[in-house]
Amino acid sequence: MPGARAAAKRNQSVQRAIALLRATAATGGGASVSVLARSAGLPRATALRLIQTLEGEGFLQRAGTGDRVVLGPALVALARAANAGPVLVDLARARLDELAAEVRETVTLSVVASDRDLDVVYQIDAPYQMRPRDWVGQRFPLHASSSGKVLLASDDGILTALLRTPLPRVASATITRPRALRRELAEVRRRGYATTVDELEEGLAGVSVGISDAAGSLVGVINVSGLHQRLERAGFATIADRMRVAAGAIEADLRADHRPA
């Protein structure tokens, strides 16, 4: 059965690639192709071919100009994304609870996922009947949410990919023109926070600020959202100032958590 044989061959290739990734991780600082081939139990030619494929996908990379192969940024990003939610929630919970008590609006925490989107992982509800719904586990159009604007403002690659297709309108004030979105993101970078009013849902406003790791990479976004009349009355800039204090404290906690013992 040709189909079954082809499937078995693909499975074998996947297993061999995984064996090479595990062998590379086990070395700590990387190793030569020959060493990795022996560790994975593969012929050197087979190992080299698979390593080149994994290099092309960013899962492995060469260290400097030598023959040493190390884990690549794509694999590191996947690992970081898998752990980012629980780690950030644990570190940020107390800070976000304090922020929610101060602003008396719904507060959420989103993490940057491995596919360069945002996942909502934590939410504190506002003490009102008229408040945003439960958003944990959901995703939103990046161009229509203040959290998404923070992500887009931090990464031109994500923005470029987004603009390959039309920007859908999801509410009356959603930004749908690329030039207008670029202007908005420039403003986000200038002032250090993003806002939305009637862009994701009618009557809903949001303010978002980013959380960065020690390397300066965006790892999460804090959002405050509620009825636009309440947020406008409180002042977007005033809310953002309080959010930046919380984000700064979380970033300090994150750096301390990753400091060598």
Are 111 and 159 contained in the same domain? yes
pLDDT, mean of residues 148-173: 96
CA triple 92-86-157, angle to 5 deg: 85
Give the least confident one: 55-59, 134-138, 207-211: 134-138
Are 13 and 106 contained in the same domain? no
Shortest CA distance to 206 belongs to which of 136, 108, 97?
Answer: 108
Tokens, residue 138: 């959901």
Residue recorded with tokens 């499937």: 7
Q: Is the pLDDT of residue 206 over 80?
A: yes
Contact in structure between 150 and 142 (CB atoms under 8 Å): no
Give the least confident one: 46-55, 79-88, 171-180, 183-192: 79-88
Contact in structure between 96 and 253 (CB atoms under 8 Å): no
pLDDT band at 217 (very low <50, low <70, confident <90, very high): confident
Secondary structure letter of residue 119 according to DSSP: E
Are 23 and 131 contained in the same domain? no
Are 58 and 96 contained in the same domain? no
Are 82 and 129 contained in the same domain? yes
Contact in structure between 167 and 152 (CB atoms under 8 Å): no
Q: What is the pLDDT of residue 9?
A: 56
Q: Is the pLDDT of residue 185 over 80?
A: yes
Are 156 and 193 contained in the same domain? yes
Q: What is the pLDDT of residue 127?
A: 86
pLDDT band at 144 (very low <50, low <70, confident <90, very high): very high
pLDDT, mean of residues 104-109: 95
Are 7 and 81 contained in the same domain? no
Q: What is the pLDDT of residue 150?
A: 98
Q: Is the pLDDT of residue 29 over 80?
A: no
Contact in structure between 96 and 246 (CB atoms under 8 Å): yes
CA-based end-to-end distance of the chain: 56
User: What is the distance between the alpha carbons of residues 88 and 98, in angstroms, rounded to a whole number?
Assistant: 15
Indicate which CATH number applies to the domain containing 168: 3.30.450.40
Tokens, residue 214: 């020690």
CA triple 224-225-229, angle to 5 deg: 125
198 three-class SS: coil
Are 59 and 175 contained in the same domain? no
Shortest CA distance to 194 belongs to which of 240, 129, 241, 253?
Answer: 240
Are 44 and 89 contained in the same domain? no
Are 47 and 98 contained in the same domain? no
Domain boundary residue, one of 52, 71, 90: 71
Q: Give how many domains the chain has, as a whole number.
A: 2
Shortest CA distance to 108 belongs to which of 209, 199, 200, 192?
Answer: 209
pLDDT band at 261 (very low <50, low <70, confident <90, very high): very low
Task: Give residue-wise pLDDT tens across range 35-57.
Answer: 999 999 999 999 999 999 998 88
Are 135 and 189 contained in the same domain? yes
Residue recorded with tokens 């189909």: 3
Domain boundary residue, one of 16, 44, 71: 71
Contact in structure between 211 and 247 (CB atoms under 8 Å): yes
What DSSP assignment string belongs to 14-29? HHHHHHHHHHHHHHSS
Are 248 and 172 contained in the same domain? yes
Indicate which CATH number applies to the domain containing 37: 1.10.10.10
User: What is the distance between the alpha carbons of residues 147 and 206, in angstroms, rounded to a whole number?
Assistant: 8
- Rounded mean pLDDT of the chain? 87
Domain that holds residue 48: 2-71
pLDDT, mean of residues 95-123: 91
Considering the entire predicted model, what is its pTM? 0.68
Task: State the CB neighbour count (10 A cutoff) for residue 244.
Answer: 15
79 three-class SS: helix
Give the least confident one: 2-11, 159-168, 184-193, 215-224: 2-11
